Amino acid sequence: MAISKKTVRDLDLKGKRIIMRVDFNVPMKDGVVQDDTRIKAALPTIKYILEQKAKSIVLMSHLGDPKKDMEKAKEKAAKEGKPFDEKKYMGSKHMLKPVAEYLSKLLGKNVLFAPDALGADTKKMVDSLKDGEILMLENTRFHKEEISKEGSEREKMAKELASYGDIYVNDAFGTAHRAHASTTDIARFLPAVAGFLMEKELEYLLEKIVRNPARPFVAIIGGAKVSSKIAVLESLLSKVDRLIVGGGMAYTFLKAKGLSVGVSLVEEDMIETARKILQKAYETHIYIYLPIDHIVTKEFSAEAEFRHVARGNIDEEWMGMDIGPMTIDKFKGALRGAKTVFWNGPVGVFEFPRFAKGTVAIAEALAELPDCVTVIGGGDSVSAVNKAGVADKMSHISTGGGASLELVEGKELPGVAALLDK
C-alpha cells in the first residue's frame, strides 16, 4: 500500500550529497551499544543511497537528552554520596562515536565521525568527503537550538545542517513527532523525502492500523498509567472491534468498576475518565477486556513472594503484578479470529522475570494468529516479543513508541508533514 509522501525512490540521487536523519537513540552502557535494532533498521536506506551512486551521506541523530539526563545522573550520584565525572558520563551515554564505529562494522565500510554537528571544522569535513563516503555527526542535542521552542533558533541550526547536503532524507520515525531542527526545520531548505524505515512505519501504522484495518481489529493497550494512554484509548474506541486493557492501568479501570484492587497502581484522578471510557465502549458495543484474575505481591520487587487471586477483589496490602492464567485464556479468546492487532504496552511488570508470564503469553498468542497483521507499537512491547523469541513472526515492529502512539491517536507528526507529497 503506497504512502502519500515521496521516498528516496522518487528522486534521482546520483552525484547528490545526502543529509539523512536517523534515529540512533540506542541504549548505551559504558560507551557500548546494548541494542542495535534501530541501527539495523536504517541499513536498507543507507545501502540503497550508496547503490544509487550518491556523492556522500551525512548522518545525524540524537542520543538521549544530554542536559536532562545528566542532571538526573548527578542527583542520583549526590544522593548515593558518589563522585560524578561529567566527561566520563557524557562519553558513556551521549556521544555517538561508538555508534559510528558500530555502524562501520554492520556496513563493512568505514564511517567517518565529526566531533560536532555544527561549525567550520565539521563543514570542512563534509566538503572534503570523497565519492561514496559516509560521515556521522556528533549528537544533535548537544546544541540547544535543536530542540529550542524558538523557531528562529531552530531555523539557524537547520540552515547550517542543510548546507551539508542537496537532498534531505528522514528515516527517523522515532523522532517524527518532534518539531526539531534536524527533523522538520531542515526540510524547509532542501527537497525532503522519507527513507524506507519511515515508509514502512507509515504504511503499517497509518494505512493498516488507522485508515484501513482488516477486521476484526483488536487493540491491546498496557503499561503503567491511564494518563499517558487516554488519547490513544479514546481514538481506538472508534476504530477497534475489541479492546484489551492490561498492565498497571487496568487497576484504575477495575477500581472504576467498583472492584477492590488493594494497593495496586491506581491513578485516583483518572477513575472518572476510566468510567467514561467504559461507558462509551458500552454505548458503542465495543467490548473492553480487563483482567479477571491476578498474580499479586505485598511489595514491588523482582523477588517478592506472590500468590494467585482467582476472581474478584484484591485484598488490602496486596498489589497486582501480572495477569493470571484465566485472564491469559480470556485475552487469547479475544484475539481469536483477529485480522489486525495493534499492541502497545506490557500486561504485567514484565521487567521482573517472575511477572513476565502474561506478557510473554500474549506475544506467543500473536505469533500463532493465522493471516493476521500484527503491529507492535514500540516501547516495552518490542522487548516482550524479543524476549518471547517471536519478533520475526510479527508483521511490523515499530521503532517509535511515542511517535506510533501519536499517529494512532490521529495526530499529524511534524516530521512526516514536512516531507514532500507525492
- DSSP annotation string for 60-93: E---S-HHHHHHHHHHHHHHTT----HHHHHHHH
Contact 16, 56 (CB under 8 A): no
**CB atoms < 10 A from the CB of 149, how many?**
7
Using CA atoms, how far residue 62 sits from 180, 189, 196, in Å, is: 11, 20, 19
Rounded-to-integer distance, Cα 113 and Cα 136, Å: 5
- CA nearest 263: which of 315, 227, 222? 315
> Sign of the C-alpha dihedral, residues 44, 50, 53, 58?
positive
Of residues 225, 275, 298, 332, which has the active-site annotation? 225
The catalytic residue among 31, 64, 91, 402 is 402
Does 400 qualify as catalytic in the annotation? no
Which one is catalytic: 174, 358, 379, 415? 379
Buried b vs exposed e over 296-313: b needs ≥16 C-beta within 10 Å?
A: bbeeeeeebebeebeeee
- Active-site residue flag, 149: no
Q: What is the CA radius of gyration of the chain?
A: 23
Residue 197's contacts (CB-CB under 8 Å, 6 or more residues apart) are 41, 42, 44, 45, 171, 173, 399
| 154 catalytically annotated | no
Count, residues in the chain = 422
Supply φ then ψ for residue 169, to 5 degrees: -115, 125
Asked if 402 is an active-site residue, the reply is yes
Which residue in 38, 141, 208, 255 is the catalytic one?
38
CB 114, CB 125: distance < 8 Å: yes
Active site residues: 38, 225, 379, 402
